[in-house]
Amino acid sequence: MNQVTKAVIPAAGLGTRMLPYACAVPKEMLPIVDLPAVYFLVDEAVRSGIRDILIITNRGKECMEDFFDYSPEYDSLLRSHGRDEEADRLRAIADMANISFLRQREPRGLGHAVARAAGFVGEDAFVVLYGDDIIFSKTPVTAQLIRAYESYGKPVAAVKPVPPELLRKYCSLRVRSLPDDPRAFLCDDMIEKPAPGQEFSDLAILGRVLLEPDVFAILRELPPGAGGEIQLTDAMAILARSRGMIALDFEGRRFDLGSKLGFLTANVLRGIDHPETGKDFRAFLRELSSSL
């Protein structure tokens, strides 16, 4: 089994839950204190051994490319003011990984976005990090998925139990336990956006999957599913039914940056630990909480 070194970040969605903001700025570029959400995805991937990253974009999302590029203007300005450390930090972001960009052209769903990565992926297993889901964890979640893939030799989905109202917006997996690992399950079916009564379990996929290139043949043939979109879950359901997938109850805290609440809570959590803002922000929150 080859080492997993490729990742795809679909970031071409319209982000309608974050309107009006998202009609001018991609939700994947929402700031978490001073870094855009997509930075945390690339950082997680790199810390997991990923070297090559393809970000699927769309019209109006060019600022993602600018963020991961060299910025000679800032470099010379900062260095001329003796701020070499900050200039080095910007340069390090541009050198994190081999990052390339490809347009989806039409936002026809997550499965359609992933299908665009077939040429980049070639014959290798790869990780998909959903562009608006950031997860803070001790061991990067991508590394947790890669470890499960190496153990079981099957595609892996990162899952968590979620309440019924979220299950209906996400998906639901049919699973059975595996010996020796209370966090790993064998998944043999799943359903996207189940109506009440259609749920298999309270486990839903949250933001990360590890797939093999056989998913592309399935995606090419897949009709539109829930919401009229090409759903990655529908392709994974076919995989799960035919050869089984691993559902991994990952360690980590996930924030949906495509939702207003996810954006706010991620900023609070990072804000209280940030070296520049932590002390004053904690004091502010203490004062605020006494008046809530």
Chain residues in the site for ligand UTP (CB under 6 A): 10-17, 28, 56, 104, 107-110, 112-113, 130-132, 258
Choose between 17 and 147: whose C-beta lies nearer to ligand UTP.
17
Choose between 83 and 260: whose C-beta lies nearer to ligand UTP.
260
Instruction: Give the number of other Cβ atoms within 10 Å of residue 270's Cβ.
Output: 21
| H or E stretch covering 118 | helix 118-121
Q: What is the nearest approach in angstroms of ligand UTP to the Cβ of residue 162?
A: 14
3-state secondary structure 278-291: HHHHHHHHHHHHHC
Choose between 35 and 272: whose C-beta lies nearer to ligand UTP.
35
Q: What is the nearest approach in angstroms of ligand UTP to the Cβ of residue 154?
A: 23
Choose between 112 and 160: whose C-beta lies nearer to ligand UTP.
112
Q: What is the nearest approach in angstroms of ligand UTP to the Cβ of residue 12?
A: 3
Position with the least CB separation from ligand UTP: 13
How deeply is 177 buried, as exposed, middle or buried, from its count of CB atoms within 10 A (0-12, 13-18, 19+)? exposed
Q: Locate 49 and state its tokens.
A: 């051994």
Q: What is the nearest approach in angstroms of ligand UTP to the Cβ of residue 151?
A: 27
Specify the pairing of strand 184-192 against strand 245-249: antiparallel
d(CA 270, CA 204): 25
Choose between 40 and 281: whose C-beta lies nearer to ligand UTP.
40
d(CA 26, CA 49): 27
Q: What is the nearest approach in angstroms of ligand UTP to the Cβ of residue 230?
A: 8
d(CA 174, CA 260): 30
Q: Locate 240 and state its tokens.
A: 């799960």
Residue type, 133: D
* β-strand partners of 245: 187
Choose between 12 and 184: whose C-beta lies nearer to ligand UTP.
12
Q: What is the nearest approach in angstroms of ligand UTP to the Cβ of residue 133?
A: 7
Q: Locate 269 and state its tokens.
A: 């959590």
* β-strand partners of 253: 136
Q: Locate 266 and state its tokens.
A: 């991620």
d(CA 138, CA 187): 25
Q: What is the nearest approach in angstroms of ligand UTP to the Cβ of residue 51?
A: 22
Q: What is the nearest approach in angstroms of ligand UTP to the Cβ of residue 291?
A: 32
Please give the C-alpha separations between residue 171 and each of 196, 202, 232, in angstroms, as whole numbers. Answer: 12, 9, 11
Choose between 87 and 121: whose C-beta lies nearer to ligand UTP.
121
Choose between 184 and 215: whose C-beta lies nearer to ligand UTP.
215
